[in-house]
Amino acid sequence: MEALIAGIQNATAAGPLLAIAAGVFVGIFMGAVPGLTAAMAIALLAPLTFGLDPLTAVAFLIGIYKGGTFGGSISAILLNVPGSPEAAATAFDGYPLSRSGKARQALQMALFASVAGAILADLLLYLVALPFSKIALKFGPAELTFVVLFAFTFVAGLTGRSMLRGMTACAFGVLCAMVGLDPMSASPRMTFGHVELLDGLPLLPIAIGMLGLAEVMAAAERAFDRRRASPDTKSAPISSSSGPGLSLPVFLSHWKTVLRSSLIGTAIGALPGIGASLAAFVGYGSAQRYSKTPEKFGQGVLDGVAGPEAANSAVVGGSFVPLLTLGIPGNVTTALLIGTFLVHGIEPGPHVFKTEPDLIYGIFTVLFIANFANLAIGLMGSGLYSHIVKAPEYVSYSIIGLTCLTGVFASTNSLFNLYIMIIFALIGFFMKKFDYSFVAFLIGFVLAPEFEVSFRSFLLVAQGDLVGFLMQRPIALLFCMMTVFAVVRIAWSEHQKRAVSSTTTPSQSEQK
């Protein structure tokens, strides 16, 4: 208890508070600019903190981490260019909202959902960090196989209007994820002699190409059509207004989505090796799955923004569970944080709770305060950025196109990734034209590598006795049963939908 109070006192001193605010500000900026990520900001700025006291240093970096996670959604919503990979799912509904004149609402929904998700995750970290870290250790290949398989069922609803086309797109995503070194035999697959492809196709260039640049191409096509119809039309803005802000009651009416996604995000954050992008997709998928109007997803619904944003922000709190309790970083950003801890002579792990309780509670408090800093700084900005949508299309789309190119190049310093982005922009453009869901594609692409490694390891470990092995692993068995249940439910509701649509007029579902 004393340690708790001391921790809170230390964290609310001027130094850490300033550091949090500065960190959040930098983080939002780095997150919002495509190509710059929070991880990069931490890598670049961590050496600056070596001279500070440990808590202030950690406060600054946590501020960047939290601000960056929200910041990625800004460019995803306004420009359809995800500022960071985990914001890709936010663009699915965020950008359509901007186009329909609700940019501010979408931005504030992203902000509120992010903050709420993060607060919830931090609370959970506070309460269950130690017991949960013990459970997380039990997640081996068998467990991860079924967790990922279960995650697949969440996104089965995201296939667009046609299940067959959705599955095709998803399968294509899985195929693209197979490029690179085979995880077992290390023989190259589909690399066509390119060294750059040995690590597989990178997510960010693909997401930016399919979402951002493909949209620029679609806009160019629309403008061309308009000009042909009447040569002297002026270029219109993306939307004539950025709309009003989000009122608190409206936000609260989405509490179910926020709560569900926060739990998903926290759990995924606490598990080893599964990242924030996957959490965001699962958050989006589950929001759609439990929505009363699932067919409206992709056309601009607030739930479609709240789902992924609450989930990817909750990952931050979740990822501190293994970081603080076991000293195991779950992703790049927390790995960088560990490096900073070590520089300050802190060795994260179970013993830290005993040796430096002040510091641990100080970090918990910093995590909390950073959420409110995020809220305040995010709110100040959201009114301002949302005016971007009122710029004429020829201005905004030129900027979007340029941002796609510079963003991809800046993030990897590689022309090769630029070509990949352009290729996938073309693919994305035609997928959109022929109504193949790029959401389904991206989900297949993100989930497949996790599934492949876990499943093949599971097969090896089980030594041919899959059922017998599964019986010894209760957690895996639980997820296996949940997966089966989910699949049966989806099949049943599809069946019912068919039964209903065959009795009503089919014209409704054909409308664009």
Partner 1 sequence: MFDKLCRASIISAIVLSLGGQAVFAEDYPNKPIEMIIGFKPGGFSDAMARKLSEPLAEALGQPIVHSYMGGAGGSIAATAVKERDPDGYTVVVATSLTFAFNPHQGEVTYSKDDYDYLLTMARFETSFVSLADKPWTDLPSMLEHAKSTGMPLKFGSLGPADRLQAKAISEATGVTIIPLPIKGGANMMQSILGGHVDFGLSGGPHIKYVQSGEMIVLAASGSEPLNATPDAATMESLGYPAVSYNSVIAAPKGLPEDVKAKLESALLEAANSPEFQKLVQGRHVGIPPMGADQTASSIDTISATMENVIKGSGS
* Site residues for partner 1 per CB under 8 A: 39-40, 42-44, 46-47, 136-141, 181, 183-186, 188, 191, 193, 195-196, 198-199, 272-273, 322, 326-330, 332, 335-336, 339, 347, 349, 351, 412-414, 453, 457, 460-461, 463
When the beta carbons of 389 and 421 are compared against partner 1, the nearer one is: 421
CB of 453 vs partner 1, minimal distance in Å: 6
Residues 504 and 14: their CA atoms lie apart, in Å, by: 65
**Rounded least distance, CB 228 to partner 1, Å:** 45
Distance CA 79, CA 84 (A): 13
Cα Dmax for the chain: 74
Q: Which is nearer to partner 1, 394 or 469 (CB)?
A: 469
User: What's the rounded Cα separation, in Å, for the pair 379 and 281?
Assistant: 25
Are 501 and 163 within 8 A, CB to CB?
no
Among residues 156 and 420, whose Cβ is nearest to partner 1? 420
Task: Work out how close the CB of 186 gets to partner 1 at its nearest, in angstroms, rounded to a whole number.
Answer: 4
- Evaluate the CA torsion angle 380, 383, 386, 390 in order and state its sign: negative
| Cβ distance to partner 1 smaller for residue 160 or 330 | 330
The least distance separating partner 1 from the CB of residue 187, rounded to whole angstroms, comes to: 8
Output the smallest distance, CB 230 to partner 1, in A: 50
Give a three-class secondary structure readout of 192-214.
CCCHHHCCCCCHHHHHHHHHHHH
Opening angle at CA 251, ends 391 and 215, nearest 5: 35
**From the CB of 315, what's the least distance to partner 1, in Å?**
16
Which residue, 325 or 386, is less far from partner 1 as judged by CB?
Answer: 325
Q: Specify the residue, 55 or 336, whose C-beta has the smaller distance to partner 1.
A: 336
Q: Which is nearer to partner 1, 108 or 454 (CB)?
A: 454
Query: What is the smallest separation between the CB atom of 460 and partner 1, expressed in angstroms?
Result: 5
Which distant-in-sequence residues (6+ apart) come within 8 Å of 173 by Cβ?
Answer: 440, 441, 442, 443, 444, 445, 446, 448
Closest CA to 282 of 68, 478, 116, 86: 86
**Among residues 500, 414, 455, 411, which one has the least CA distance to residue 30?**
411
Rank residues 135 and 223 by Cβ distance to partner 1 and give the closer one. Answer: 135
- Distance (Å, rounded) from C-alpha 442 to C-alpha 170? 7
AA identity, residue 269 = G
Task: Compute the least distance from the CB of residue 200 to partner 1, in Å.
Answer: 10
Q: Rounded distance, CA 494 to CA 500, Å?
A: 10
Q: How far is the CB of 242 from partner 1 (least distance, A)?
A: 35
Of the pair 319, 396, the CB lying nearest partner 1 is at 319
> What's the 3-state SS for 459-480?
HHHHCCCHHHHHHCCHHHHHHH
